[in-house]
Amino acid sequence: MNNKTMMIIVAVLLAIATIYSVYAIFSNDEEIEEEDNNNTYVSELIEDECTEEYKEEQENSTTVTSTEEKISANSQLILKKYYAKCEHTINEYVEMPEELVNMTEEELKLEYPDWEVIGFEPNKVTLYKEFDDVCGEHFKLRIEEGKIVIYLVNQDGTESLYEKTDISSEYLTETDLINMQDGLEIFGKEELNKIIEDFE
């Protein structure tokens, strides 16, 4: 075999090797790209499924929370009463009636149709109602026989004895004594209790 033939054979072998290498490289790239595409699709699919499942759980959770919020056994009931004739609002704090425990807000509205539910929490419920009347918590403090005496002012303006205290007038300031000469007017039991505590 001469040199020329040998060179042709080597050239052909090199050409075949080059073609094979190029084919192998392109073929490998396509497989990687296809695998990447498949992975992306699977990843998107998983993400979509998880996202949808999470959204559904959130929606269900929200629905359950809003519809299932109920009054607890140790919650407080506040009756907020507005009296139009004297324009006073009285807050009455009462123990939650047993029959209202575990009620939802909608059930409470059905139970008290004349009242407006202005606050609904598991531990505190507030109901509001307006009355075309006076509140019945108007008081006058007077000094009698050296002691503070409390009178309740009735709707017609008359006064009836509410409580005789043991608080001596000698501990009061001059201003307090002057105010009580004609009767010191107090509105609301909370305010009354506060003033009596201050005098004690």
pLDDT for the residue numbered 155:
82
Gap between the Cα atoms of 187 and 139, Å rounded:
6
Start-to-end Cα distance in the chain: 133
pLDDT at 3 over 80: no
Identify the three-state secondary structure at position 96: coil
Among the listed residues 51, 108, 37, 110, the one whose alpha carbon sits nearest the alpha carbon of residue 75:
108
> How far is Cα 107 from Cα 8, in angstroms, rounded to an integer?
98
135-182 tens-digit pLDDT: 888 999 998 888 999 999 888 888 899 999 888 888 888 888 888 888
CA–CA gap between residue 40 and residue 29 (Å, rounded):
16
Q: Class of 138-199 per CATH? A: alpha beta
* 30 or 155, which is more confident: 155
| Residue ranges of domains in the chain | 1-68, 76-131, 138-199
Q: Extract the tokens encoding 113.
A: 């149709």
Cβ atoms within 10 Å, residue 177? 13
User: Do 138-199 and 76-131 have the same topology in CATH?
Assistant: no
Q: How confident is the model at residue 123 (pLDDT cuts 50, 70, 90)?
A: confident
Q: What angle do CA 20, 21, 25 make, to 5 degrees?
A: 115
- Distance set, CA 145 to CA 100, 149, 158, 166 (Å): 48, 9, 21, 11
Q: Quick one: tokens of 99? A: 């029959």
Considering the entire predicted model, what is its pTM?
0.53
pLDDT at residue number 127: 94
What 3-state class would DSSP assign to 66? helix
Element (H, E) at 159: strand 159-168
Which pLDDT belongs to residue 32?
53
pLDDT of residue 65: 46
Mean pLDDT taken over the chain: 79
CATH number of 76-131: 3.10.20.420
Q: How many CA atoms lie within 13 A of 14 on its CB side?
A: 6
